[in-house]
Amino acid sequence: MSTRDQMLARVRQNKPEPLPLPDVPTFVNESDDLFTRFRDALAFVGGKLMELNPGDSLSESLRQSFPDAIRVASSVPLPGIDLVSVDTETDKMVIEQIDLTVLKGDFFVAENGAVWLPEPDMLNRSLPFITQHLVLVVDRNTLVPNMHVAYQHVDRASLTYGVFICGPSKTADIEQSLVVGAHGARSLTVVVTAEIGDK
């Protein structure tokens, strides 16, 4: 038996008995106005909030908010808008020319204004980061209070890749000057609706 094997054998012999993991609190304050917290957090990180009322058209709201968007990709139905077809095999030259991307978020977080976006809802893994403008559509009923609860909602068993997106891309590394859209989407809009899709 080598010296390495002897050492590992001794470590295994002296391994302590396993202990149960501690219960981690979720730090939820039941009196919080979660939607107000989300709205304020999103504004703080440079994002925009769009609320769709019953009867509002998502397609029309996007046309008004992004009148110059010509090349649009979407995982959400947008009647009346011509969409660029994007999937995991789409050439990067096509993806980098997308003006506006509309994707369905799984849920959103009041604490920091983040939206959870798993890979199956991205169309292409690079799309949320290379598009000029990003719109994430979330169901109002999927709002969670904080990241402690958010991680409990992530489906880790089937997850290949996913990301919490919080505001548009930005950096303040150079001379303490904030630059928005430095490495990715120039703007982030979160659309909160009762149902995903056009009304």
Quote the pLDDT of residue 195. 57
- Whether residue 148 is contained in a domain is answered as yes
The CATH number of the domain where 118 resides is what?
3.40.50.10420
Quote the pLDDT of residue 181. 72
Quote the pLDDT of residue 91. 94
Domain residue limits at 109: 33-193
Side chain identity, residue 47: G
Written as six digits, the tokens of 144 are 């969670």
**Tokens 């993806």 appear where?**
95
DSSP state of 175: T
- Whether residue 22 is contained in a domain is answered as no
The answer to whether 115 and 138 are in contact (CB under 8 A) is yes
- The helix (H) or strand (E) run that includes residue 189 is strand 187-193
- Whether residue 145 is contained in a domain is answered as yes
- Whether residue 15 is contained in a domain is answered as no
Quote the pLDDT of residue 73. 97
* pTM of the entire predicted model: 0.84
- Whether residue 174 is contained in a domain is answered as yes
- Whether residue 18 is contained in a domain is answered as no
- Whether residue 113 is contained in a domain is answered as yes
- What is the per-residue DSSP string for 64-132? HH-TT--SEEESS--TTS-B----TT--HHHHTT-SEEEEE-SEEETTT--EEEEGGGSSSTTHHHHSS
Quote the pLDDT of residue 197. 44
- Whether residue 76 is contained in a domain is answered as yes
Inter-residue long-range contacts of 52-56, CB under 8 Å, 24+ positions, other chains counted: 52/191, 52/192, 52/193, 52/194, 52/199, 54/194, 54/199, 55/199, 56/193, 56/199
pLDDT tens sequence for the chain (199 residues): 899 999 999 998 888 888 998 888 888 888 889 999 999 999 999 999 999 988 899 999 999 999 999 999 999 999 999 999 999 999 999 999 999 999 999 999 999 999 999 999 999 999 999 999 999 999 999 999 999 999 999 988 888 899 999 988 888 777 777 777 777 799 999 999 975 444 4
Domain count, the chain: 1
